[in-house]
Amino acid sequence: MTPDASYPPFLVGYPPLTPVTDAAPVADFDTGYHPPLSRKPLPATGAWRDSDEPGERQFADLGPLPLELGGTIHVTLAFETWGTLSPDGSNAILLCHALTGDSHATSKDGTDGWWNEIVGPGKAIDTDRWFVVCPNVLGGCQGSTGPASIAPDGKPWGSRFPEITIRDMCAAEKLLADRLGVSRWALVAGASFGGNRVMEWAASYPRMCGAIAVLVAGPATTAEQIAYQKTQNQAIALDPAFNGGDYYHLPDGAGPHRGLGLARELAHITYRSPLELHQRFGRTPQEGEDPLAGGRYAVSSYLDHHAYKLAARFDANSYLTISQSMITHDIGRGRGGTPAVVANLTMPALVVAVDSDRLFYPANMAALAAALPGARPLRTVHSAYGHDGFLIENNQVTAILRDFLDDPALFPARARRVQ
C-alpha cells in the first residue's frame, strides 16, 4: 500500500491511521514538556538546565537527605501543582510520573501534559476539588536534583552521583509534602515506575496515604523486568561517548545519545503490544527504503524516531539512575518480605491492569489486587497498545478513576468541592 501524500512525511504508519498511530511518532505520551525537534546535532544531555525556561515548574530546596545506601545529598525538587489546598489539608493528591516523565502532568490551561485529559477542572482528578502535586523524581533531569545537576564543587555530578533507591525518592517527596503543609495525601497515584513509587509510599509512610491507585506497577520488580532494565542500562554504559558517566563537557553530537536511544528502543518494545506493531507496521518497508539493500522496515524507523526524541529531552545518567532504582525496587526489603508488607497495607486501593500489557502482566496485577487488604476488585483497561494503554486509553482511565474518587464511602469528607 502506498502512503497517502496528504499525510505528513514523518508518519511511519500507513493509512488507515488511528489517532494514536497519527500522534505517536511526534508525541511522547509519558512527558509533559516537549523540546522542539530539529535535525541539529543532539546535545550531550537533554536535561533541563537552570538557564532554560522553567515552564510551569516550581522548585523546593529541601536540604540534605540521608540516603538508604549511605551518605547524604542536598535535594531540590521541581514540582507542579493544580487546585487549592483546603484549610484542613485533606484534599491533597500526589501524582507519580513514569520513568522518563516529568512534573508536567497537565498545564494551567489544560492544553498539554502527560495526563492532561485526566487532571483538570471537571476531569477525573478534578482540580476544582483536589489539590494535585506532581514532582519530578529525585535523580531525574527535569529540574530535580540528578546526575546532570551541579554538585557542591561547581561541576555536574556525573559519575559521582550516588546510587539512590525508590525509598530515597519517596523520602525526598515526603520532605516536599512537609514543605507544602500536606500531612496526609488523600490519594497517592501513579503508573508503571510511578506506580512502583506509589507502592513504596504506602510501605514507607502508610499513615500519610489515605488511599492508593496503582496502575500497571508492582510491589517488587520481577526477574523479567530486571532483565529488561539491565539490557537498557548496558546499552548506555557501552556507548563509548558515555565516558563512564562524565560527558557533560562534550559538544553537541558527541554525547551518549546512541546508547540512550538504544535503551529507549529496547524499552519501547515492552511498552507496546505485538498486535499493535503487527497491525500498524507488519513487514512494510520504510517509505523510500529497501530492507534488502540496507534500508529499514517501517517499525525500525518508528523505533529510531523514538530514540531520537528521548535523546533530545533526557539525560543518559538519569536514565541509568532511575532504571537502577527500578531494578532494586522491593517494598519488602528489610521489612520481612514483600508478601508480609503488602498484607499490612490496609488503606483503600485501586489496582488497574492493561489487558495487552507485556511489562506488568494482567495476572500479576490481579494477584496484587487480591493481596492488598483494602483493594477494590481489579479494574482492567482494554487496549491494543500494551503497557502504554494507561497513557492512551484516557476515556477508560477517566471512568475508572472517577468511580474510585467519587465513591463517598472512600472519600466522604472530600465529596464536596473546595470553595
List residues with catalytic annotation.
Answer: 192, 357, 387
DSSP 172-241: HHHHHHHHHT-SSBSEEEEETHHHHHHHHHHHH-GGGBS-EEEES--SB--HHHHHHHHHHHHHHHTSGG
Question: DSSP 3-state assignment of 119?
Answer: strand
**What are the grid coordinates assigned to 188, written together?**
497517592
- Residues contacting residue 78 through CB under 8 Å, at least 6 positions apart: 48, 57, 58, 59, 102, 103, 135, 136, 142, 143, 144
Question: DSSP 3-state assignment of 44?
Answer: coil
Q: Confirm whether residue 388 is marked as ligand binding.
A: yes
Question: DSSP 3-state assignment of 79?
Answer: strand
Q: Confirm whether residue 252 is marked as ligand binding.
A: no
Grid cell 517509505 is found at 287
**What are the grid coordinates assigned to 321, written together?**
539512575
Cα 112 from Cα 125, distance rounded (Å): 15
Question: DSSP 3-state assignment of 18?
Answer: coil
Phi and psi torsions of 73, nearest 5°: -145, 140
- Residues contacting residue 404 through CB under 8 Å, at least 6 positions apart: 211, 213, 350, 376, 410
Longest dimension (CA), the chain: 67
**What are the grid coordinates assigned to 235, written together?**
546499552
In the sheet that holds 187-191, the strands lie side by side as 58-66, 72-82, 131-135, 92-96, 187-191, 212-215, 349-354, 379-381
Question: Annotated binding site for substrate: which residue ranges?
Answer: 264, 388
